[in-house]
Amino acid sequence: MIGLDTNILVRLLVADDPAQTARVKRFVDRHCTRETPGFINCVVLAELVWVLGSVYRYSRSEIADAIEDLLIGEDRVVEQHDAVRRSLTDFRSGRADFVDAVIVRINRTLGCEVTATLDRKAAMLDGAVPVP
């Protein structure tokens, strides 16, 4: 596997720098295959969501669509794939930020009964509890 940094994914998704986008596409086409997939870890996803929303002003729906597209394909592997996919439902519903939903879902996957939080929106997620 080959780890992919946030800036690689941004270039592929946003394509706002033609020269860098072309370099990234050539690299990914050449090196990210079924046999040697690109690996996308959860920290990269968190950064990606922040960059798309804060810098490029993507809507929640556009961000969710971008993450969903990353989950599809045999040339990449997303860390905690199932937890990330389930978190998209929470994010699309507006009940929590994407990263909060991923945290709660991963914690549940790893055996946590609940995730304690001070975040009111995150506390509404199944598997989260508010700290009074």
H helix count then E strand count, the chain: 7, 5
Picking from 34, 52, 79, the residue at the C-terminal end of a domain is 79
- My answer on whether 54 and 97 are in the same domain is no
Query: Tell me: the pLDDT tens digits for 78-132?
Result: 999 999 999 999 999 887 899 999 999 999 999 999 999 999 999 999 999 999 8
- My answer on whether 75 and 86 are in the same domain is no
Query: Tell me: the pLDDT tens digits for 10-22?
Result: 999 999 999 999 9
What global pTM score does this model have? Answer: 0.90
- My answer on whether 71 and 94 are in the same domain is no
The pLDDT of residue 73 is 84
- My answer on whether 20 and 60 are in the same domain is yes
- Measured CA to CA, the distance from residue 42 to residue 103 in angstroms comes to 9
Q: Are 63 and 28 in contact (CB under 8 A)?
A: no
Q: Assign 40 to helix, strand or coil.
A: strand
- My answer on whether 73 and 95 are in the same domain is no
- Measured CA to CA, the distance from residue 5 to residue 9 in angstroms comes to 7
Query: Tell me: the pLDDT tens digits for 16-43?
Result: 999 999 999 999 999 999 999 999 999 9
- My answer on whether 6 and 50 are in the same domain is yes
- My answer on whether 55 and 70 are in the same domain is yes
The domain total for the chain is 2
- Measured CA to CA, the distance from residue 82 to residue 20 in angstroms comes to 31
- My answer on whether 106 and 118 are in the same domain is yes
Domain limits for position 132: 81-132
Which residues pair with residue 130 across a beta bridge? 117
The pLDDT of residue 95 is 77
- My answer on whether 64 and 89 are in the same domain is no
- My answer on whether 57 and 107 are in the same domain is no
Q: Assign 20 to helix, strand or coil.
A: helix
- My answer on whether 88 and 62 are in the same domain is no
Beta strand pairing status for 38-40 and 2-3?
A: parallel
- My answer on whether 56 and 10 are in the same domain is yes
